[in-house]
Homo-oligomer: A and B are copies of this chain.
């Protein structure tokens, strides 16, 4: 399976470099946030109404995919280190979001932190 085999490859990558010592969950949460910041940087001066088209420009797309790769790897490393299943965590959160944002109240209205 794609997910499981990638996790195996990540484990091998880390083990070969003896990097497990640096990969406690605190450091991996930092890695994840700093990579998310790099992804954010790609869009910081792109207006909302150009963001889809920008994401399709070949050079931008390659950089964005590269940052998505970094964020995804950091997330999988953190999940593997803590033993948290990312798909179970996402399904749980989606179920909770269905309750927090009932269709009747949320339709067409952006959820802001204050609506939570």
Q: Are A97 and B37 CB-contacts (below 8 A) given A44-B30, A72-B75? A: no
Copies in the complex: 4
A58 within 8 A of B: no
Q: Are A73 and B92 CB-contacts (below 8 A) given A2-B87, A45-B111, A55-B25? A: no
In angstroms, Cα B76 to Cα A37, docked, is: 17
Q: Are B38 and A34 closer than 8 Å at their CB atoms?
A: yes
Output the least CB separation between A10 and chain B (Å).
7
Chain B residues whose CB sits within 8 angstroms of the CB of A84 once the complex forms: 61, 64-65, 68
Output the least CB separation between A81 and chain B (Å).
7
Chain B residues whose CB sits within 8 angstroms of the CB of A31 once the complex forms: 44
Q: Are B66 and A89 closer than 8 Å at their CB atoms?
A: yes
Chain B residues whose CB sits within 8 angstroms of the CB of A30 once the complex forms: 30, 40-41, 43-44
A–B pairs, 19, beta carbons within 8 Å: A18-B108, A19-B110, A25-B43, A25-B54, A29-B39, A29-B42, A31-B44, A32-B36, A33-B40, A34-B38, A34-B41, A35-B37, A37-B38, A42-B112, A61-B84, A66-B89, A66-B92, A72-B86, A73-B93
